[in-house]
Structure formats: structure tokens, C-alpha cells
Structure 1
Amino acid sequence: MKETAIVYCENNFGTMDGKTANGLVRSSRKFEIVGVIDSTKAGMDAGNYLIGEKNGIPIFKDLNQALENIQNVPDQFIYGIAPSEAFLKKDERNLLLKAMEHGMNIVNPLHEFFTDDPEFIKHAEQFNITIHDVRKPARKKDMHLFSGRILNIDTPIVAVLGTDSAIGKRTTSVLLEDALLKRGFNVAFIATGQTGLIQGAKYGVAIDAIPSQFMTGEIENQIMKAYENDNPDIIIVEGQGALSHPAYISSCGIIRGSRPGAVIIQHAPKREHLGDFSYMEMPTVKSEIDLIENFSKAKVIAVTINHENMSDDELAKTISEYEEDIKLPTTDVLKFGCDKLIASIFDAFPNLNGKQEKALIK
């Protein structure tokens, strides 16, 4: 059985910085989400607010209201915001201490590690709860340098990259994984950020918390674990940030470490500036494709659209324009599913067609 969890996302649910809460409301293989805390949207259904479909996850104004309305105290309290500064505010700190006092274990996705905090450690011991610092890396002596082992495998590897952070790369990756699983494929998903790991990914590492010397090796190691343990038909690798993004280097490590044979690129056509960097204009899809293909040996095989601030007519027009101008299959997986992506993957890796036939026979 899944453990129950409440997700804190004050003033950020449905926004870029609320991506951890957003992702958990959409999909969680590890936890049963029983509520979201965001006073600005209290009383709403989280699914209805986020995707226009009710999912029975209520939004509460604060922890007190949540505990008054949830039948049992949740097993886990998840901090569901991903702020660029990645550190706690004072009122949030007090809230976490209160959650501990109620007996809830803490799931922390920040770069600020609670297990290094004397007050949090003392509270955890006093109230017999656990703290999970999702981004806390292994000790350096246990990290991996790039070994080249990945060069010897022939399993198709597809990376889902993008033109900005918090643009939908993980969502597209998870939906693509689900669509391939439904077709009978054995799929390995490699999470590279805190949200994918909290959602329950079997393999992965929070790449932005890894020293740069070990980035490629840690990604390679996760892929090799999946390859050796599960013998997958295909490996999907979640991207982070953007290769062109001036503030992040995660995409470099992901491309170098995963050695993808193909890339799907996610873009938000109506986003004018990089998230959290309002002084930087968004790259174009074409410029990002050129950069990725020059930086790696991978080919970009499809484009996926984040439809934020777009009408259905604008979305349909953009998809048609991209397919005509860029000559790549283009879709919005939240609106139209993953059929175009799977077709582009079959074109890039023809051997998968045979595995599709075997899967259908089964």
C-alpha cells in the first residue's frame, strides 16, 4: 500500500515553482496524495485546478485545516515547492517542526539538507519520525566517474530535453513511459530531479546536487543499473533545465552521461523569458535543436508543446507551423497523448517495431 502524504505548496500550486506539488498531483507511484496546502486556492479540487479534471485531492488553507478534514494524520509531509533559492523561510521552518510534532515524516526536495540541521534532527528523534533529503547525494567516495560502459549497450536511449526549466520535461517523460508500457514495452525511466524521485522512479539521481566531476558518471551508473537489472527495451531519460540556459549545467551532464540516440524537445511557445530569469529571452525551438545536435551525436526526433497561456486554436496553429517549418512531429502530450512521439521513436529505432509485434502477441 502507498503511504499517504500531504503536499505543502503555499502560493505556488499550479505555478513553475510549484512543479513538485504539480507533479505529485498528476502522478505518484509512491504516495497517495491526500491534500495540498495553498491558502490562495483553498477549497478547490487540486486536479480540477491543475488539469481541469477532478481527482478528489482537496486544497487546504493551512496544516490545521488539513488535519481537521483528513481522516488520519498523513504518513508524510512533502515540501512541494522548488524555489530558485532552494532554502526555507522562517514560517516554513516552523510549519515543518509542527508537522513533525504531529508524527509526520518529512520529505525534503531542497538543497538545504534537514538531516544536517541540529534542531530538525532533535525534533525527528523526539517525535520518532524520519527525514528524507531527496537531493542529498552519496558520499564522494561512493560516487561514480564516467566509465564508458554505456558505450557498449545497444538499448535505445531517448532524452526528453527542453528550452527552459519547469517546462514539462518530466511530465512528458512520465506520460511517454506510461504510453510505452501500455504497448507492452519494458521501459526504464531515469529521473534526474527531485520530483521524479519523489514520484517513485526506480532509477535516478538529483543531478543538480552532484559535483560536476561526477555528473556524467552518476547518470551513466543509473542507466547501467537499469540496463543490467531490468533489460529494458527502451530507456527514457528526464532532462533538466536547458542546454542553452546560462544558469544551469545539468543538461550537459545528462547528455554526456546518458549518450542518447534521440532527443525529444519540450517548448512553451508563449513563454517570453526564462523562468526566474526575466532579463533573459527564451531560445527558439530551432536554436535549441541546433545546439543539442551540435553538442551531441543525438538527433532531435520530435517537439512537444507546453500549452501554458495558449488557446486551443493557438495550440493547433503552432503544431501545424512547427511541423511545416521544423519538419518534426509536434504534439502536446497532455492534450493529444504520445502517439506521435512513439511513431518518431519507432522511426529512429526500427528494431523496436519487432519488439512491438512480440509485445502484441503476448
Structure 2
Amino acid sequence: MEEKALIYCEGHFGDADGKTANGLIRRSQKYQITCIIDSTKAGLDSGEVLNGIKNDIPIFQDLTEAIESLREVPKYFIYGIAPKEAFLSTNQRKVLLKAMFLGMDVVNGLHDFISDDNEFVQNAQKCGVKLYDIRKPLANRYLNLYSGNIMNVKTPKIAILGTDCAIGKRTTAMLLVKTLKDRGLRASFIGTGQTSIIQGEKYGIALDAIPSEFMTGEVENAIIEANLHEKPDVIIIEGQSALSHQAFISTAAIIRGGHPDAIIVQHPPKRKTRVDFPYLKMPTLKSEIQLLETFSHSKVIAITINHENMNTEELKRTTKDYEDLFHLPTTDALAYGCNKLVKALFKAFPDLKEKSQIIN
């Protein structure tokens, strides 16, 4: 049974740093989301802000207004911002403490672990609430080193990678999983970030919080576990950051640990600099594809577009331009769905098409 939760996303709902809140509005298997807190969009409907479609999940000015309007205190307070700094400000700490005093368990996806913070721990005990640090890894002795057993996984593994952070790789992956399931296929999703874990996905890790020595092993283990227990026809792996990104190494670990059999690459054509790194220019889609294929020894079989700052005509034109230039099926999964991606998978892995036809 889904427990009720509200999401704190002050100043960032709908933008790149609000990706945890954005993801939970689009999909949540674990929580019933009651509202968003973001004073810059107070009074609006979160669905209309995010997707242009009303979902009746309101956005409130602050925690006080939210509780007064809801007329109840949700069980969970979810910190829905994923900023570059990854540490709580003084004002944000006050909001978390207020949530505790109201009797709410706190779900935190930052690298700033609240369960290691004496002030938060003492107040949580006083208020009788729990603190959940989603990114906090297990002790090293419980983590997995790379074993090479991933090479024994014969199920097709598809990685949704990209040219930057916060461009919708997780969203595309989840939409593709749903589409494949609708076609009668058993598709497993492997999460690699804190948002997918908060959403309630069964298999995955917050990869960027894992010590580097164990990153590939943790990815490998998550895939092996899903393959063992779910017996999927296809495995879809969520990407993180970009292989070319100077600040992160997650994509390298996903490729090394996951041994993807094919790659779908996502790109925001209008983005000029990397999110949260205005001094870093975006790579070209061509250079990223070349880098991915060289590093992974796998092939990019399709392109997906993030349509931020693009109108409908620009999206249509860019889709056609990319297909002409790269000779790869291209789509925007949010705008147009995943049919082109499914066709690309069926072409690369004919057995999937046969299984889909047999089941349907």
C-alpha cells in the first residue's frame, strides 16, 4: 500500500535540479504524492507545469500552507532536489527539522547524509520519526566487486546513455520498459540513481555514492539479480551523466559492469553547456556516439531527444535531421512514445520480436 508523501522542491520543480521531484510526479510505485512545495510555482498544478497535463497534485508556497491545505500530515517528507552542491542550506535544514516536528519521516537523496548528522538524529529520536538516506551505501564489506559473471547473462541488455546529466535518460528508460511490457515482453529496469530508488524500483543502486572500486561490481550484481529472479526477455539499464563528462565516472562503470549489448543515446539539442557546469560546453551528439561505441564495443541503435527549449516544429525538424545524418531511428519518448525504439530493438534482437508476436 502506497504511503502518502509530499515533495520539497523549492525553486526547482520542473527544471534539471528538480529531477527527483519531476521523476516522482511522472512515476512512483512506493509513495502516493500529495503535493509539491515550491514557492516559485505556488498555486499551479504540478502535472501542467511538468507535462502540460493536469494531474491534480498541487504546488504550495511552503510546508505550512501544504499541511493546512491537505488537512493532514503525510507520512513522508521527500527532499526532491538534486543540486550540484548536494548539501543542505541553513534554510533547508530548518524545513527538514519542521517536517520532523510535524511527525514526518524524511527521505533524502543527497550526499549530505542526515542520518549521520547529530542535530537531525537527536531531533528525529525526539519526534519519533525515521531518516532515510537513499544514497548512503552499505559498508564496503557488503558491496560487490566485479566478477565477470555478467558475461554469462545472455538476456539482451540495453543501456540508455546520454550527453549530459538531467536529460531524461531515466524517463526514457521507464517509458521503454512500459512499452515493451505492453507488447507482452518481460522487461526489467535497472536503476542507477537515487530517484529510481525513491520511485520504488526493485533493482539498482545510487551509483555515484559507491566507492569507485565497487561501482562496476554493483552494476553487474544488480543486473545478475534481476536476470536471475525476473527471468526477463530484455534488460533496460538507466544511464547516468555522460561518458564524456569531465566531472563524473558513472557511465564508465555502467558500461564496464553492465556490458550493454546495445545503446540508446539521449541528447538535448538546445543545451549549450552542461547542467550545473556553465563553464563546460556540451559535446556534439556525433562525438558522444563515437566515444560510446569505441569505449563499449557496442552499437548505438537509436537516438532520443530531450525537447527542452524546443517548439513542436523544431522537434520535428531535428528528428528528421538526426535520422538523415546518423541513419538511426530518432524520437522523443515523452512527445512521441517509444515505437521507434521498440522497432530498433526488434531489428537488433530478432528473438524479441518473435517472443512479442508469440505472446500477443
Normalised to the residue count of structure 1, the TM-score between the two structures is 0.98
Q: Secondary structure at the match of 1:300?
A: strand
Report the AA paired with residue 57 of structure 1.
I
- Which residue pairs with 1:302 in the alignment? 302
4+ residue runs over 3 A deviation? none
Q: Aligned residue for 2:279?
A: 279
Partner of 2:229: 229
| CA distance in structure 1 between the aligned counterparts of 2:188 and 2:260, rounded to whole angstroms | 13
Matched to 1:262, the amino acid is A
Partners of 2:134 and 2:50 in 1: how far apart? 24
| CA deviation string 1:55-108 (max 9, x = no partner) | 010000000000001132111000000010100000100110110111111100
Say if 2:206 is the partner of 1:176.
no
Q: Residue 341 in 1 paired to residue 341 in 2? A: yes
Cα deviations across residues 161-181 of structure 1 (Å, max 9, x unaligned)?
000000110110111111111
- Between the aligned partners of 1:92 and 1:257, the Cα distance in structure 2 is 36
Say how many residue pairs are matched. 360
Which whole-Å deviations, capped at 9, do the CAs of 1:7-39 have from their partners, x for residues lacking one?
A: 000010111101111111111111111000000
Partner of 1:42: 42
Residue 98 of structure 1 is matched in structure 2 by 98
Over aligned residue pairs, what C-alpha RMSD do you find?
0.7
Q: Which residue matches 2:145?
A: 145
Match in the other structure for 1:198: 198
1:64 aligns with 64
SS in 1 for 2:10: coil
Is the aligned partner of 1:327 residue 2:327? yes
Please name the residue that 2:353 is paired with: 353
Instruction: Give the equivalent residue in structure 2 for 1:109.
Output: 109
The reply on whether 1:14 has 2:17 as its aligned counterpart is no
Q: How big is the shift at 1:298?
A: 1.4
Aligned to 1:253: 253
How far residue 124 of structure 1 moved from its aligned partner, in angstroms, is 1.4
Q: Deviations over 1:93-136 (max 9, x none)?
A: 01101101111111000001111111111111111111110000
Q: Which stretch of structure 1 is more off in the superposition, 339-348 or 275-284?
A: 275-284
Q: Which moved more, 1:66-75 or 1:246-255?
A: 66-75
| Greater CA drift, 240-249 or 174-183 | 174-183
CA distance in 2, matches of 1:158, 1:89: 38
Residue by residue over 1:134-164, the C-alpha shift from the partner in whole angstroms, topping out at 9 and shown as x without a partner, is: 0000110001110011101110000000000
Distance 1:232 1:118 in 2: 44
- Other-structure match for 2:84: 84
State the partner residue of 2:4: 4
Q: State how far apart, in whole Å, the 1-side matches of 2:71 and 2:225 are.
A: 40
Aligned to 2:161: 161
Show CA shifts across 1:196-243 (max 9, x none).
111111000000001111000000000011011111111110000000
Query: Is 1:54–2:51 an aligned residue pair?
Result: no
The Cα offsets for residues 262-319 of structure 1, whole Å up to 9 and x where unpaired, read as 0000000000111111111111111100000000121100000000000101100000
In the TM superposition, residue 325 of structure 1 has moved relative to its aligned partner by 0.5
| Cα distance in 2 for residues equivalent to 1:151 and 1:319 | 35
Identity, % of aligned pairs? Answer: 55
> Are 1:317 and 2:303 matched, yes or no?
no
Shift of 1:183: 1.3
Is the counterpart of residue 28 in structure 1 residue 34 in structure 2?
no
* Structure 2 length-normalised TM: 0.99
Question: C-alpha separation between the residues in 1 aligned to 2:274 and 2:59?
Answer: 28
Give the distance between the partners of 1:48 and 1:353, measured in 2 at CA: 36
Matched AA of 2:124: A
Please, which runs of 5 or more residues in structure 2 have no aligned partner?
none
Helix, strand or coil: the match of 1:74?
Answer: coil
Q: CA deviation at 1:353?
A: 1.4
Letter in 1 for 2:5: A
In the other structure, the counterpart of 1:128 is 128
- Helix, strand or coil at the partner of 2:286: helix
Aligned residue identity for 2:191: A
Q: CA deviation at 1:358?
A: 2.5
Gapped runs of 5+ residues in structure 1? none
Give the SS at the match of 1:204: coil
Task: Tell me the CA shift for residue 44 of structure 1.
Answer: 0.2
Q: CA deviation at 1:359?
A: 1.9
